[in-house]
Structure 1
Amino acid sequence: MHNELQQFITKKLPIINAKLNSLLAATNVSETLKSSMAYSINAGGKRIRPLLVLATLEDLGVESEDALTVACAAELLHTYSLIHDDLPCMDDDNFRRGKPTNHIVYGEGVAVLAGDALQTLAFGSLTHLSDTSAQDTIRIIRLLSDASGATGMVGGQMLDIEGETKSVSLSELETIHVNKTGALLSFCIGAGAILAGLDEEKSAKLKDFAYHIGLAFQIQDDILDITSTTEELGKTAGSDALSEKSTYPSLLGLEGAMARLAEHHQSARESLAFLEAEHPLLGLFADYIVERES
């Protein structure tokens, strides 16, 4: 990992974690429910999504008091999706980030409710932005709704379930992952652009960047599923093959998937040409996404 990115992450992670836990602490709910929510929030995630929000503003040279809240809303939403993804009725995973999944510890009923509560907390937190106009606040909430609901992540998950019973084309696979994985990553970049007051032309370039890193992220996930161990991944390795899911390696072969990964990485990098920094943080994140080993 590039030193500049490592320094940025080292500086921002404690701030993100503190904010997430302060949002949880402020909820007046059952202690069991709060414990379940906190269990998954504090299970050791990389915080890529909130870091992308903050990196976008950093690269654009803009400070925003609301950036941290928006960043944490993305992580709350992401964590809810992981809890539900791991349930027996979905991907049926027993481990996440090297620890037993939420439903293994708290039971399925509590896990479902914890996911629901994290999702609503994400949207609720966005109603408390302090230095963002009402119009831009609504734009951010709408963007998160589109990214996380039937037109985004949930829609992608539905396509993924439907794809389990049939062979899908490369185009269909990319549609699944643009929504299932890419939509929330795109929200992070798009919300950063809104907070920065970026013009339409530059916002479109960042949208293009987000599209390519979203696909790159999923391709690398698919590659790691067959090249890494369960210990390295922190979740069950080889699960895609066991469930006969369509993946980039299954459609293109391992070498073909790696070539596709390189194409999206290059396109993402090219989308950032308008940024003045020699090593923009977003570009370093693109490098990290394709080089990560878990």
Structure 2
Amino acid sequence: MLKAYLAEKKELVERNLQKILERYEKPELYSEAMKYAVMNGGKRLRPILMYMMCDLFGKKYEAIEDIACALEFIHCYSLVHDDLPAMDNDMYRRGKLTTHVKYGEAEGILVGDVLLTEAFNIVANSSAVSDSNKVKIIAKLSEYSGFYGMAGGQFVDMKSEHVKVSFETLKYIHAHKTGKLLTAAIELPLIALDIEEDKREKLVQYSKLIGIAYQIKDDILDIEGDFSETGKESNDEKNEKTTYPSLFGLEKSKEILEDYITQAKEIIIENFDSNRILMDLTDYFGKRGG
């Protein structure tokens, strides 16, 4: 059921991304590189989470489609910049050459810049979202992608290379670098759909748990994963990054991962009638291969 759902919604997300990307024409090489960075594969989990929120509350998709594309633009920008020589210096992303390797380092920086900037433009000009909700969504999107969100987590992550960091610092990195955009994927559609505060709070709590679980699984895949499945080569060992396995060992990391998955599922069981898709998704976060 989940596999078919993810495939169906991924196709929908990518159609919407293509429509938005068609707006960008000249300079042609800039447009091409931008499209390459966005349409270079990927699971589209963040925008798909937004569609799940619509389905959970029986709402139509129109209200969240632009926001879903905007969030995916920000996610793709973060990957382009994360791959740069000054950051992780990766050659491959999703099994293909990274944007800066294919188009050039300066070009990669500018592709990331435009994806971040245009994300806010997409939300600001959406006809499907009320003006009052646009303000709330843009404020949250700025927070979750900026100093107190993904960028802040990335900064601490970069400064933590070649040093052994504490568990508290590792949790901060995971909660901000990865977790904040997953929270955005759940919280932003709830704002757009005017879902009541108590349900929003429960789902935000859920998002934080699966965000940490997602990163722990990433750490495990860096050891156990295969390039053919993950589509990237890990530089964590070379950069001497602290990870859950380096702090706790592989088996204990798997136990911690399972605990987060269990906590997340309890929220869905107790508050959302054991929603099947969300329960399956939670299991997926703990079992995914790439």
Scaled to the shorter chain, the TM-score interval is over 0.9
Instruction: Tell me which amino acid in the other structure corresponds to 1:224.
Output: L
Correspondence for 2:57:
60
- Describe how 1:85-100 pairs up with structure 2 within 5 A: 85-100=82-97
Give the length in aligned residue pairs.
Answer: 289
Deviation at 1:198, TM superposition (A): 1.5
Correspondence for 1:116:
113
Instruction: Tell me which amino acid in the other structure corresponds to 1:36.
Output: A
Distance 1:131 1:243 in 2: 44
Correspondence for 1:250:
246
For structure 1, the 5+ residue unaligned runs are none
Query: 1:190-228 deviations in whole A, cap 9, x for unaligned?
Result: 012112212121111001100001000000000000002
Instruction: Tell me which amino acid in the other structure corresponds to 1:267.
Output: Q
For structure 2, the 5+ residue unaligned runs are none
1:143 and 2:117 correspond: no
Correspondence for 2:128:
131
Deviation at 1:28, TM superposition (A): 4.1
State percent identity of aligned pairs.
Answer: 38
Correspondence for 1:36:
33
Instruction: Tell me which amino acid in the other structure corresponds to 2:258.
Output: A
Distance 1:10 1:224, change over 3 A: same
Q: Residue 216 of structure 1 contacts residue 289 of structure 1 at CA under 8 Å; is this kept in 2?
A: yes
Instruction: Tell me which amino acid in the other structure corresponds to 2:155.
Output: M
Taking structure 2 as the reference length, the TM-score comes to: 0.96
Distance 1:122 1:18 in 2: 17
Distance 2:129 2:278 in 1: 23
Deviates more, 1:243-252 or 1:25-34: 25-34
- Describe how 1:208-247 pairs up with structure 2 within 5 A: 208-237=205-234, 239-247=235-243
Distance 1:44 1:246 in 2: 28
Taking structure 1 as the reference length, the TM-score comes to: 0.95
Question: Match for 1:184 among 181, 185, 194?
Answer: 181
Correspondence for 1:7:
4
Deviation at 1:39, TM superposition (A): 0.8
Distance 1:118 1:66 in 2: 21
Instruction: Tell me which amino acid in the other structure corresponds to 1:268.
Output: A
Q: Residue 81 of structure 1 contacts residue 115 of structure 1 at CA under 8 Å; is this kept in 2?
A: yes
Deviates more, 1:7-16 or 1:179-188: 7-16
Instruction: Tell me which amino acid in the other structure corresponds to 2:281.
Output: F
**Is the partner of 1:240 in helix, strand or coil?**
coil
Query: 1:152-209 deviations in whole A, cap 9, x for unaligned?
Result: 0000001111111421111210111100000001001001211221212111100110
Instruction: Tell me which amino acid in the other structure corresponds to 1:62.
Output: K
Distance 1:64 1:132 in 2: 12
Correspondence for 1:276:
273
Deviates more, 1:172-181 or 1:131-140: 131-140
Correspondence for 1:288:
284
- Describe how 1:163-202 pairs up with structure 2 within 5 A: 163-202=160-199
Distance 2:81 2:141 in 1: 18
Question: Match for 2:75 among 75, 78, 93?
Answer: 78
1:47 and 2:44 correspond: yes
Query: 1:31-85 deviations in whole A, cap 9, x for unaligned?
Result: 1111111112111110001001111111122224121111111111000000000
Instruction: Tell me which amino acid in the other structure corresponds to 1:8.
Output: Y
**Is the partner of 1:282 in helix, strand or coil?**
helix
RMSD: 1.3
1:260 and 2:256 correspond: yes
